[in-house]
Amino acid sequence: EAQVTQNPRYLITVTGKKLTVTCSQNMNHEYMSWYRQDPGLGLRQIYYSMNVEVTDKGDVPEGYKVSRKEKRNFPLILESPSPNQTSLYFCASSLSSKNTGELFFGEGSRLTVL
């Protein structure tokens, strides 16, 4: 089954405790991206990756890091989480970096930072 898998799905943590949200896709997609979704603000892009070892900032990259060492994986790292990073996070992928609007989304990871 084609899917984008995120872990953990739910996490409660405390300010300053480093965490990683993993994302893996099994569709051999070239392009991957992270979004956060907040009430009243909609979906906003955090980081994206056009291909292995190629990453770039989206609209709201502050406080986040990413890496793309393998095609299938695109982890999101919060080095020192703060309460304003409490959000619903989605990883997404698309087949080609030339067609990045047709995204396949994961189920989401709900993060609460106390």
Partner 1 sequence: EDQVTQSPEALRLQEGESSSLNCSYTVSGLRGLFWYRQDPGKGPEFLFTLYSAGEEKEKERLKATLTKKESFLHITAPKPEDSATYLCAVQAGYSTLTFGKGTMLLVSP
Task: Report, in Å, the least distance between residue 45 CB and partner 1.
Answer: 6
**Residue from 111, 43, 108 nearest 81 by CA:** 111
Q: Toward partner 1, which CB reaches closer, 4 or 76?
A: 4
Q: Toward partner 1, which CB reaches closer, 58 or 63?
A: 58
CA distance 114 to 104: 30
Q: Toward partner 1, which CB reaches closer, 81 or 106?
A: 106
Q: List residues near partner 1 by CB under 8 A.
A: 4, 31, 33, 40-45, 48, 50, 56, 58-59, 90, 92, 97-98, 100-108
Task: Report, in Å, the least distance between residue 90 CB and partner 1.
Answer: 5
Which residues have a Cβ under 8 Å from the Cβ of 99 and sit 6 or more positions away?
none
Phi-psi region of 53 (alpha: psi -120 to 50; beta: other; left: phi over 0): left
